[in-house]
């Protein structure tokens, strides 16, 4: 665990993002699988992208593929003072990279919450048409809040460890047929700083997500995280709720656009799983979208005599 913490801290400190142009690109799903040709009995494309909506899916980037992501969530659509949420938005810029066909890593920065994060995802089992019934992956993440330290009474020191949050997840998915995929996501989010007289440092949750394909290029998605512990934990003095999101994946012109509605504005596991302060029952909903742009950084051997996507 100590090694993972050091790895993610160093990755986050080296964050450097370059915003590419959103020109026509190769099919995202082809890029996800590039460099990792599926065996004849492997099941592919369980989901359209590496995220279902907010949470990670079992999909990995292919070897040598770099994914530049823009995730955006507007504010509460009922907030007329902020132009129905448009003036109160959260944006996350992220870079994900496929190190091997079974290992990907990523770093990101959330603008509104002033939060840096990093993760690694390891594919452990791959669903087969005849044989292994599921795909199993592990997702581990760390996030660091970079807001100014508060002034404490009696000259106490605000510890750096108070800013840290850790997430461990198992991603268990099955593609039942060409139009239906489901995923279970057992999750532990560790908060270094909580009111220990009332709450646990570990929020345990179970996520369920799914994808229903309605046409060749369009799919309906859904995602819900139910907290088994800390269900009544407060955030900044406000009541928190389980995160429920619904969305649409649209693949067109080589891009996959993910459009969604969610009661969470946060874009890291510590926020949307344990610190969602809005509720569908009150109409406090956030419109959002995810956009990905992928590049082939290292070509697989079988493609090294062909031009890259930007040549």
Q: Chain-wide mean pLDDT for the chain?
A: 85
pLDDT at 30: 53
The verdict on pTM exceeding 0.75 is: yes
Highest mean predicted confidence (pLDDT) among 38-42, 84-88, 231-235? 231-235
82-114 pLDDT per residue, tens: 777 788 899 999 999 999 999 999 999 999 889
Is the model more confident about 191 or about 156? 191
Task: List the single range of 47-51, 106-110, 122-126, 201-205 with lowest mean pLDDT.
Answer: 47-51
pLDDT surpassing 80 at residue 304: no
Domain boundaries, the chain: 65-296
Task: List the single range of 3-12, 35-44, 216-225, 267-276 with lowest mean pLDDT.
Answer: 3-12
pLDDT at 243: 98
Contact 151, 132 (CB under 8 A): no
Total Cβ atoms within 10 A of residue 16: 6
- For residue 226, what are the CA distances in angstroms to 195, 209, 241, 242? 21, 11, 9, 6
CATH level 3 topology of 65-296: Porin (2.40.160)
pLDDT surpassing 60 at residue 13: no
Residues 80/244/250/65 CA torsion (nearest 10 deg) = 110
pLDDT at 92: 96
Contact 237, 222 (CB under 8 A): no
Token pair for 209: 């997500």
202-219 pLDDT per residue, tens: 999 999 999 999 999 999
Burial 247-284 (b: 16+ CB within 10 A, else e): bbbbbeebbbbbebbbbbbbbbbbbbbbbbbbeeeeeb
pLDDT surpassing 90 at residue 271: yes
């Amino acid at each position: 665990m100590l090694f993972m913490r050091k790895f993610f801290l160093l990755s986050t400190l080296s964050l450097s993002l370059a915003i590419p142009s959103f020109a026509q690109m190769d099919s995202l799903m082809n890029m996800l699988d590039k460099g990792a040709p599926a065996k004849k009995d492997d099941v592919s494309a369980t989901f359209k992208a590496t995220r279902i909506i907010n949470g990670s899916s079992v999909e990995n980037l292919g070897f040598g593929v770099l994914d530049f992501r823009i995730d955006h969530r507007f504010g509460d659509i009922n907030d007329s003072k902020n132009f129905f949420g448009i003036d109160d938005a959260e944006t996350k810029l992220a870079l994900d990279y496929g190190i091997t066909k079974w290992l990907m890593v990523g770093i990101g920065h959330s603008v509104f919450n002033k939060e840096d994060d990093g993760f690694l995802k390891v594919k452990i089992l791959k669903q087969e048409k005849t044989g292994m019934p599921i795909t199993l992956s592990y997702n581990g993440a760390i996030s660091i809040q970079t807001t100014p330290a508060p002034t404490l009474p009696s000259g106490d020191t605000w510890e750096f460890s108070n800013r840290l949050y850790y997430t461990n997840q198992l991603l268990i998915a099955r593609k039942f047929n060409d139009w239906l995929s489901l995923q279970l996501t057992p999750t532990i989010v560790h908060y270094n700083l909580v009111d220990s007289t009332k709450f646990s440092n570990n929020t345990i949750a179970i996520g369920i997500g799914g994808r229903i394909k309605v046409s060749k290029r369009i799919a309906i998605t859904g995602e819900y995280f139910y907290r088994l512990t800390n269900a009544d934990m407060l955030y900044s003095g406000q009541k928190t709720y389980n995160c429920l999101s619904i969305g649409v994946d649209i693949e067109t012109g080589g891009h996959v656009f993910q459009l969604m509605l969610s009661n969470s504005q946060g874009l890291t596991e510590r926020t949307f799983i344990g610190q969602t302060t809005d509720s569908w029952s009150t109409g406090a909903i956030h419109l959002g979208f995810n956009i990905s742009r992928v590049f082939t950084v290292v070509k697989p051997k079988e493609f090294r005599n062909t031009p890259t996507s930007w040549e």
